[in-house]
């Protein structure tokens, strides 16, 4: 089990990283979206590929669900209130793992509310780009309750149920570059 102190720091590459999410809509299907802008750092120990630290900032205004009217509603005071809370943050507090798999527990802040969550992640690989930069890749996922973060807006349906579910499935595909 790897639990060393970070000695190598990688900067998250926002152009080659993706933060996606899905949530139930009308209790019959899932709506998917993403955040286009994520920045931050991943720390690694002197050996191994499992992170020792993760700090990430997601630009909440970069939300995209492929529908501008829905995007405007999710960015409004009914949900994210991006004018007051333009950034979503994650800061790891404990990371454990073995081989290529790890769990990263940390503080997730959305809409001004901070909750502890645990991501299940894996190391996807390492390589050097054409410009000589060392890169690493990770994927991770977590299910969160939107109500835990004060995102409670909903609408009852005539046929029963509600317009949107509580659980949000978040997937992360991260590529990061070794800081020089």
Residue 1 lies in a domain: no
Q: Read off the pLDDT of each residue in 68-74 and give the average, rounded to a whole number.
A: 91
For residues 34-58, b (16+ Cβ closer than 10 Å) or e, as one string?
ebebbebbbbbbeebbbbbbbbbbb
Sort strands 29-35 and 63-64 into parallel, antiparallel or unpaired. Answer: antiparallel
Instruction: Give tens-digit pLDDT for 128-169.
Output: 999 999 999 999 999 999 899 887 777 777 877 777 877 899
Residue 37 belongs to a domain = yes
pTM value is: 0.89
Is residue 70 a part of any domain in this protein? Answer: yes
Per the structure, the complete domain to which residue 63 belongs is given by 8-178
Q: Supply φ then ψ for residue 27, to 5 degrees.
A: 65, 15
CATH number at residue 125: 2.40.128.110
Q: Is residue 105 part of a domain?
A: yes
Residue 99 corresponds to which tokens in the numbers above?
A: 């081989």
Q: Give the per-residue pLDDT at 6.
A: 58
**Domain total of the chain:** 1
**What is the per-residue pLDDT across 103-115, written as a single tens digit (0 to 9) for each?**
999 999 999 999 9
Is 141 a domain residue? yes
* 74 domain-assigned: yes
Q: Quick check: is 71 in a domain? A: yes
Quick check: is 2 in a domain?
no
């Amino acid at each position: 089990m790897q639990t060393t102190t970070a000695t190598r720091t990688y900067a998250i590459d926002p152009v080659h990283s993706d933060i996606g999410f899905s949530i139930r809509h009308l209790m019959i299907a899932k709506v998917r979206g993403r955040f286009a802008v994520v920045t931050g750092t991943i720390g690694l120990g002197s050996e191994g590929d499992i992170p020792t630290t993760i700090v990430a900032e997601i630009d909440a205004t970069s939300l995209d669900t492929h529908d501008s009217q829905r995007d405007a509603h999710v960015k409004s005071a009914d949900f994210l209130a991006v004018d007051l809370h333009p950034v979503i943050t994650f800061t790891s507090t404990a990371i454990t793992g073995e081989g290529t798999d790890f769990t990263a527990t940390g503080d997730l802040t959305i809409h001004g509310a901070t909750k502890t969550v645990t991501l299940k992640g894996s190391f996807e690989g390492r390589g050097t780009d054409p410009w000589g930069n060392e890169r690493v890749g990770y994927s991770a996922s977590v299910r969160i309750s939107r109500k835990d973060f004060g995102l409670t807006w909903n609408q009852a349906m005539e046929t029963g149920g509600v317009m949107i579910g509580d659980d949000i499935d978040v997937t992360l595909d991260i590529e990061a570059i070794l800081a020089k």
